[in-house]
Amino acid sequence: MKRILLPFAVICVTAISIIGCKKNATTTSEDEISQQTLAQIQSLGFSTQNVRKVDEGFLVEGDIVLTPELLNSKPEEKTLRIAEVEQYRTTNLVQRLPRNISVLVSNLGTAFIQGADLAISRYNALGGQITFQRITSGTPDITIIGFNQGPSGGYITLGSSGFPTSSGNPYNQIKMNTNQYAYGSNPDVNYVGSVIQHEIGHCIGFRHTDYMDRSYSCGGRKVNEERPPSGLGAILIPGTPSTPDAESWMLACSNGGNRTFNANDVTAMNFLY
């Protein structure tokens, strides 16, 4: 999940006139990623724009890791279309339900521990087939670890994660940014918890609600993230509103504060789990 940093963008623009703003110094361009990989990413229905190589695989849409396993698989894909602007696209889902998923927070501060507890309590309050439990020892299903990365291009990455495995297990890692520009020196638990809630959403199979147009939450120009693969299933859920409904927990970009499930998110969660 990302957040727009307007003040940073302004500072950067000011700096150009004085010293020249050094940008794209660490950007991995698309041509460093093989055409075969880009074709695999596209065949899964993801944009090939701004794909980045990371340790675990390839990062798309700013915060979703596509692992080699996922790239080489043919995941079952469904689109849940709720309202005009909300589409919950899923790849693999967590299987063997009902299921309790253990979460361990590793080497992170109190706000991250309390944030994890907040996110877990919000999922568990849905009363669905999937529940979460934070553990402090043993082998967890999902480990939350830190990374430190500064802003780039007026945005900062708040956290990242990935999709379930083809064998039906949740993605096993969430990375949370400990950089001072992400959550500040005294992180707000509701803010941190909302981002963890979003990253858990990816771990159990949810894509960004606004994957078809990230400018909905991220601002900027309209970007069509996806070329839909042929034969993609779409599931329309009866009885849900047809008007736009903002503030989904799976929007690509954060509002910088507390954000949880809206009514349509609850419908989508209940439908899948």
Residues of this chain that interact with Zn ion (CB under 5 A) are 1, 63
When CB distances to Zn ion are compared, the closest residue is: 63
Rounded CA gap, 71 and 165, in Å?
A: 11
Q: In the Cβ-directed half-sphere of 117, how many Cα atoms lie within 13 Å?
A: 9
Residue placing its CB nearer to Zn ion in the complex, 112 or 239: 112
CB of 198 to Zn ion, least distance (A): 6
Of 184, 203, 56, 58, nearest in space to 116 by CA: 203
Tell me the pairing of strands 78-82 and 52-54.
unpaired
CB of 225 to Zn ion, least distance (A): 12
The CA angle 222-225-229, to the nearest 5 degrees, is 140
Residue placing its CB nearer to Zn ion in the complex, 78 or 207: 207
Residue placing its CB nearer to Zn ion in the complex, 12 or 52: 52
CB of 206 to Zn ion, least distance (A): 9
Rounded CA gap, 134 and 62, in Å?
A: 26
Residue placing its CB nearer to Zn ion in the complex, 77 or 231: 77
Other C-beta atoms within 10 Å of 58: how many? 23
CB of 251 to Zn ion, least distance (A): 8
CB of 219 to Zn ion, least distance (A): 16
* Chain mean position to CA 21: 29
Residue placing its CB nearer to Zn ion in the complex, 63 or 265: 63
CB of 64 to Zn ion, least distance (A): 6
Q: Which residues contact 177 (CB under 8 A, 6 or more apart)?
A: 146, 147, 148, 149, 156, 157, 158, 159, 183
Residue placing its CB nearer to Zn ion in the complex, 63 or 226: 63
